[in-house]
Amino acid sequence: MKTEVILTNNIVGLGAESDQVKVAAGYARNFLFPQRLAIPLTQANKRQIEALRQRRAEREAHEFNTMTELAKGVAKLICVIKAKAGDDGKMFGSVTAGMIADELKHQFDISLDKKKIHLEHPIRMLGDYEVELNLHAEVKGMLKVRVESTTPAAAPTAEATPAESKPEDDGKRPRTEKRGPAKRDARGEKPHKPEKAEKVEAAEVKKPRAAKVEKGEKPAKSVKTAKAPKTEKEA
């Protein structure tokens, strides 16, 4: 069973002040009338319609001015949303209108119904986006949304340049000079390497060997020096 009522407040999906609508009798009796959101349609109550219309006009004008200022304010903001994503920038989930509304409240203390946030396509990639806001029937706004990853990016390994690279310390003394490949003469042969100075000096210090004695020969006796003749005193 339906009953006709006059709305005294704006009810989303039903109507605004001064609107005459038909609703279920139980809904009107148990909810609208106790909450003072509507009154029964009678001759006496019809006199209040003009006052309700005036109040409605004032409310809508206030909402229009408020949403116009809000649209100018949010256009300067960047709403940052953190989300989990892979190395390719693809998110594991998606950004919803409810998440944007929560971050607006948390970051800027702006209370906005998520139904006013219009997403044409789900946001599933990291990056910057512009989201349309249906703030009022005659007011629209744009909000910049930046989606960042909660996973820190791996730092690239810096490769040492040849000028900066240092040889590993293996405990050995570094060579003062590098030896290149042995040069060859015109015939293509390697030149004779001179013996080391140490070996040459050692060869010069060596004593000459005694001459070999042939078999059957006796070695020559060493010649003794003649003794001086004894003097008379010594005799």
The total number of residues written for the chain in this structure = 235
Q: Is the pTM of this model over 0.75?
A: no
Q: Is the pLDDT of residue 21 over 70?
A: yes
CB atoms closer than 10 angstroms to residue 75: 13
Characterize the bridge pairing of strands 38-40 and 20-24: unpaired
State the average pLDDT over residues 24-29.
93
In the chain, the amino acid numbered 170 is D
What is the H or E stretch that residue 58 is in?
A: helix 49-74
Domain residue spans of the chain = 2-47, 71-149
Comparing 50-59, 76-85, 92-101, 151-160, the range with the smallest average pLDDT is: 151-160
Q: Is 77 exposed, middle or buried (0-12, 13-18, 19+ CB in 10 A)?
A: middle
| Contacts (Cβ under 8 Å, ≥6 apart) of 5 | 20, 21, 22, 23, 28, 32, 38, 39, 40, 41
| Helix/strand/coil percent split, the chain, to 5 | 25, 25, 50
- What CA–CA distance (Å, rounded) separates 141 from 117? 9
Please answer whether residues 89 and 148 qualify as being in contact, where contact means their C-beta atoms are separated by less than 8 angstroms. Answer: no
Instruction: Label residues 48-69 b or e (16+ Cβ within 10 Å = b).
Output: eeeebeebbeeebeebeeebee
Mean pLDDT (the chain, rounded): 77
User: What pLDDT, in 10s, does the model give residues 167-207?
Assistant: 555 555 555 555 555 555 555 555 555 544 455 444 444 55
* pLDDT number for residue 86: 85
Write down the pLDDT at residue 151.
Answer: 72
**Closest to 133 in 3D by CA, of 149, 123, 154, 119:** 119
Least confident of 130-139, 149-158, 205-214: 205-214
Cβ neighbours, 10 Å, residue 122: 11
Could you please state the CATH topology (level 3) that the domain comprising 71-149 is classified under. Ribosomal Protein L9; domain 2 (3.10.430)
For residue 152, what are the contacts with CB-CB under 8 A and spacing of at least 6? none
> What is the rounded CA–CA span in Å between residue 66 and residue 144?
20
The pLDDT of residue 44: 86
Residue 193: per-residue pLDDT: 53
Q: Give the CATH number of domain 2-47; options: 3.40.5.10, 3.40.50.720, 2.60.40.1180, 1.10.10.10.
A: 3.40.5.10
